[in-house]
């Protein structure tokens, strides 16, 4: 009964971390509702998009008086803002952002107008969207599943380390193995498809996602080594478990791959 309770706790912690990732990551859509002249506008603004086509923004409006425009420029450049008017399509206002090379980012605002009123759906700050190459589901789905299984076994091993009657050795081996498979084998494969590079962490670059994965893997390898010979190595396992939890609490893709537009040239020379 106690083991079942421990697994339930581990599952709850793992799912909580997954939900937290979904709410805090810089690549997840911005959703909300705004009012303009007594009309409520619901919106969803993407912050990550595959670069196989332009990103079409569609804002549903029921009031015929509401018009708007889209302004955008390349992120971290001195480019002038480009202004595109929305066009009416059925009950929506529609405009598109041009697709970018892998890891390219655009800053954009959606501006709506009605009579003499004007609002920006994202407020004063623009939305930043990053474009990426498509990742095959045969790689992406196993990567996601295995990474969260690693979190599950890591958490369960940490709980076992606190129980004097349990030996967390087998759970530690599972946690380390899953983390290496998901983070150091499938992870770089996802990175290669999405952004064209297998590894952008230490010592090559400073990608936070790669670096935090590397730190977590080192922590779990240390815990496994400390437990060689079947020793419980409780403090090592607990430390590695807490370390991975902290890593998962860092928003996914924060300080991730980013195209340096100074090496690309002006917008007119960007690849189509």
Instruction: Compute the average pLDDT of residues 233-254.
Output: 89
Instruction: Compute the average pLDDT of residues 118-125.
Output: 93
Bridge pairing between strands 48-50 and 127-132:
parallel
Q: What is the pLDDT of residue 218?
A: 97
Collapse the DSSP code of 156 into the 3-class scheme (helix H, G, I; strand E, B; otherwise coil) and give the result.
Answer: helix
Beta bridge partners of 179: none
Q: What is the pLDDT of residue 271?
A: 44
Q: What pTM was computed for the model?
A: 0.85
Please write the tens of the pLDDT for every residue from 184-227.
Answer: 999 999 999 999 889 888 888 777 888 999 999 999 999 999 99
Instruction: Compute the average pLDDT of residues 230-257.
Output: 87
Cis status of the peptide bond prior to 203, with omega within 30 of 0: yes
Q: Which whole-number Å values give the CA distances from 10 to 81, 130, 185, in the listed order?
A: 48, 33, 25
Sorted by where each begins, the domain ranges of the chain are: 2-25+136-249, 37-132
Q: Give the CATH superfamily of 37-132.
A: Immunoglobulins (2.60.40.10)
Where residue 58 falls among pLDDT bands split at 50, 70, 90? very high
Where residue 254 falls among pLDDT bands split at 50, 70, 90? low
Instruction: Compute the average pLDDT of residues 75-95.
Output: 95
């Amino acid at each position: 009964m106690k083991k079942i309770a421990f697994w339930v706790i581990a599952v709850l912690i793992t799912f909580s971390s997954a939900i937290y990732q979904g709410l805090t990551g810089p690549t997840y859509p911005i959703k909300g509702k705004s009012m303009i002249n007594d009309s409520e506008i619901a919106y969803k603004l993407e912050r990550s998009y595959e670069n196989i086509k332009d990103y079409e923004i569609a804002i549903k409006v029921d009031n015929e008086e509401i018009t708007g425009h889209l302004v955008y420029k390349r992120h971290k450049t001195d480019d002038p803002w480009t202004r595109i008017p929305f066009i009416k399509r059925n009950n929506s206002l529609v405009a598109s952002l041009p697709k970018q090379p892998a890891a390219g980012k655009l800053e954009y605002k959606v501006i709506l107008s009605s009579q003499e009123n004007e609002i920006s759906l994202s407020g004063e700050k623009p939305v930043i969207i990053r474009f990426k190459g498509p990742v095959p589901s045969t790689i992406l789905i196993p990567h996601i599943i295995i990474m969260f299984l690693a979190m599950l076994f890591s958490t369960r091993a940490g709980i076992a380390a606190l129980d004097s009657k349990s030996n967390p050795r087998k759970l530690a081996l599972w946690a380390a193995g899953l983390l290496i498979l998901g983070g150091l084998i499938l992870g770089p494969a996802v990175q290669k498809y999405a952004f064209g590079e297998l590894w952008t962490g230490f010592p090559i670059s400073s990608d936070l996602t790669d670096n935090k994965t590397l730190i977590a893997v080192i922590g779990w390898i240390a815990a496994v080594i400390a437990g060689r010979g079947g020793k419980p190595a409780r403090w090592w396992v607990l430390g590695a478990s807490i370390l991975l939890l902290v890593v998962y609490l860092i928003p996914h893709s924060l300080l991730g791959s980013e195209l340096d537009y100074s090496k690309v040239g002006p917008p007119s020379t960007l690849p189509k």
